[in-house]
Structure 1
Amino acid sequence: MKISRREFVMASGAIAASLAVGPKLAMAAAGLPKIKLGVGLKAMSPIVINLVIGEVLGYNKAEGFSVTTQVLGSNANVQVAVDRGEVDFGVGVPSFGLPVLAQGEWKKSINFYEYTYPYKWDIAVLPKSSINGYEDLKGKRIGVSGFGATDYPVTKNVLQSLGFDPDKDFKWVAVGGGVPAGVALERGQIDALAYYDVGFGLIEAAGLPFRLVPRPAKLPLIGGQFLETQTDRLQKNKAQVIGLGRAVCKSSNFILANPKAGALAFLRMYPEAAPRGSSQDQAVESIYRAINRRIKLYSPPYPGAKMGSINVRELQTEAAMNHWNISDYGLFYTNDLIDEINNFDLDKIRRQAKEYS
């Protein structure tokens, strides 16, 4: 999958309006510098819970800034916004960044923290479906949330690794995210749904039926998601870059220590995320069920690796699967900040999580 310069320019057209839309938070610390974080979502979702709750937990304030999260609609939009300096930080994804690197056009940005590790996608079908393995999907209609979301290119890569031609062997259908995706499956508009862990949690919480197709035995470790910023910002304001990474690292550990406390913190920032008419306990349970699959991916699946560190083999695997010719990944990522990002009192964060109410 390639992103042309024309597509980057077209994507930027959606950004100006999106930048004006952010969470209506009253807890932003007065007087602190405000930084903008772009995410490739159409609406705020607990999928990015560990990126945002540092604001209400005081982790951003401890680093000397306040964060406003901007929903920009797609990962391509985020990449444009970071490159143009329209947001200070963004979510970086290899499926959109590596093609640019392969074309020799990756110049301004760098990924410095992996906040979610592979592998987070699955394929779901209705409980009585005759599809019992990925080999049964040939000729079927596979739904994805959108063609600008990572579930589309990553699932295509996996199917290609199994010997399929993703463009000829399947019909791809954009069905939207969250509950609408589950409704499309339930109503038979698609035969299968390729989606991510938190999305399936939202569908499950809504009571919609599905079952996950067993994953292939050799699933490639691809599709991690990163924090990125302009290389110039990293060089000139290294402390701020480390600070955001540390706030996210603290938030991730907070959620791991007490997932329901993390859900409560998210709801305090985004009360509109609560199901209509629900009590606080019911709303917390809903968010918890949505994130339960995701939180295990906050920690690296590599022995001895520190949280947030980036394993270049993930990038190399995805590049090889797509025939992207990349000899040097040095411009794309760095692990130089990981030790400083992880330099905090982990036991204190865990105690805070256990005591949070």
Structure 2
Amino acid sequence: MTTRILAGGLRALLLLLLACALHASAQSAKPLKKVTLAVGGVSVLNAAYPWLMMPLALGYWRDEGYDVEVVATPGSLQTVQQLAAGSIALSQMSAGALIQANVMNNLPIRAISVNNVLDWAVGVQADGPVAKVADLKGKNIGIVSLASGGLPMLKALLRAGGLDPDKDVTIVAVGTGAPALEALRANRVQGLMFWHTALVGFENAGGRLRYLSDPAWETFADFSLATTQRIIDSDPAMVEAIARGVAKASLFTATNPQCARQLHWKRFPQSKPTGADEATLARNDDRLVAAVVGSMDKARRLDGGQAWGRVDAAGFQRMQDFLFDNKVIDRKVAPETFVIRTPGFAERVDRYDHEAVIRQAKACAIS
């Protein structure tokens, strides 16, 4: 009798363990939820976007249950349109585009992670005669296009330096990359108005530049990950998970920027630069990532430096004031309009094992 009872109990236990194993297997086989994230103003997703590419390389978003596709799009305004149409879930966009969407078009787009400050500058020849903004009088200044969001910044910088941007200088479209640098080298333009990583790219290509900018810009929120209020309301878990992956990737990259570059090359070989020996390419991309980390850290300090990517309404207020003062927008709204307002959101995003991410970055296991 005792033997039969023990055997029956053993069978029941085995059946229970089998059921648990099958349940766990079913849970692990649960399909990942697909999410599309568009990056505005980008043609190639190179090593300059580690907060978006490292979650893919390191599996942070997959661990949260999401299969995220990160795609490049020509400009921030296009991603605003895609968000409004519901064809994408999230967008990396300039703060200017986000503010204009809310103020001018009443589109409820909210920043969920601030990743860069406003880091544009005019790059001039380091050994040339232009040492300050006033020295640009009578000169030609190149910009990616005359529709660029950098145009109001350039005009504001010129006015602050005592120049009339409509009379004292000539602003010309030079495109990006090699054509822009060649315009400077050939003296067709005497300055290039670009964002920081583009200027670093010019230096990597052999340019020697002096930067002219407004230090106040470093207190403006700029390149941010955003979504619509509708998605925040309908899928808060996804929004939180994506922001947490961004935060973890930011910490990883800041801990070991060189490893982030190495992982990017390994995971996304199609975006690896060419045209030089391996050591030169590595050195150039390491400089690029270092520049990005500098801007990421300045963005982190907008909200006191406590967490990566945390949104700061005051940083958007300063950007909105700038846009209003330079007649890009004709009215202002409460700065809280531009950021996610879900109670406890930032605290939950920051709820991950920071030390584990730091150890992972220091170990830099690339397989």
Partner residue of 2:358 out of 350, 353, 357: 350
1:288 maps to which residue?
286
2:240 maps to which residue?
242
Q: Is the 8 A contact 1:249 1:307 kept in 2?
A: yes
Q: Is the 8 A contact 2:83 2:90 kept in 1?
A: yes
Q: Select the structure that is richer in helix.
A: 2
Distance 1:313 1:171, change over 3 A: farther
> Which structure has the greater CA radius of gyration?
2
Q: Is the 8 A contact 2:122 2:211 kept in 1?
A: yes
Distance 1:266 1:138, change over 3 A: same
User: 1:90 offset after TM fit, Å?
Assistant: 0.3
1:258 maps to which residue?
256
User: 1:162 offset after TM fit, Å?
Assistant: 4.4
TM-score in terms of structure 2 length: 0.80
2:36 maps to which residue?
36
Distance 1:236 1:129, change over 3 A: same
1:11 maps to which residue?
none
Question: CA RMSD for the aligned pairs?
Answer: 2.5
1:170 maps to which residue?
169
**Cα distance between partner residues in 2 of 1:139 and 1:311:** 39
1:45 maps to which residue?
46
1:329 aligns with 2:342: no
- Mark the runs of 5 or more structure 1 residues left unpaired by the alignment: 1-28
1:185 aligns with 2:184: yes
**Cα distance between partner residues in 1 of 2:155 and 2:351:** 38
**How many residues in Structure 1 have an aligned counterpart in Structure 2?**
326
1:2-56 CA-to-partner distances (Å, cap 9, x unmatched) read: xxxxxxxxxxxxxxxxxxxxxxxxxxx9942221111121232333222122111
User: 1:279 offset after TM fit, Å?
Assistant: 6.1
Distance 1:261 1:148, change over 3 A: farther
Which residue identity is paired with 2:234?
A: K
1:72 maps to which residue?
73
Distance 1:345 1:31, change over 3 A: same
Which residue identity is paired with 2:179?
A: P
Matched residue of 1:298: which SS?
helix
Matched residue of 2:154: which SS?
helix
Q: Is the 8 A contact 2:119 2:218 kept in 1?
A: no
**Cα distance between partner residues in 2 of 1:39 and 1:65:** 18
**Cα distance between partner residues in 2 of 1:297 and 1:65:** 27
**Cα distance between partner residues in 2 of 1:47 and 1:101:** 27
* 1:1-357 alignment runs, 5 A limit: 31-40=31-40, 41-103=42-104, 105-116=105-116, 118-207=117-206, 209-216=207-214, 218-219=216-217, 221-222=219-220, 224-276=222-274, 282-299=280-297, 300-302=300-302, 303-323=304-324, 324-334=330-340, 336=342, 337-356=345-364, 357=366
- Mark the runs of 5 or more structure 2 residues left unpaired by the alignment: 1-28, 325-329
User: 1:234 offset after TM fit, Å?
Assistant: 0.8
**Cα distance between partner residues in 2 of 1:157 and 1:335:** 31
Matched residue of 1:173: which SS?
strand
TM-score in terms of structure 1 length: 0.82
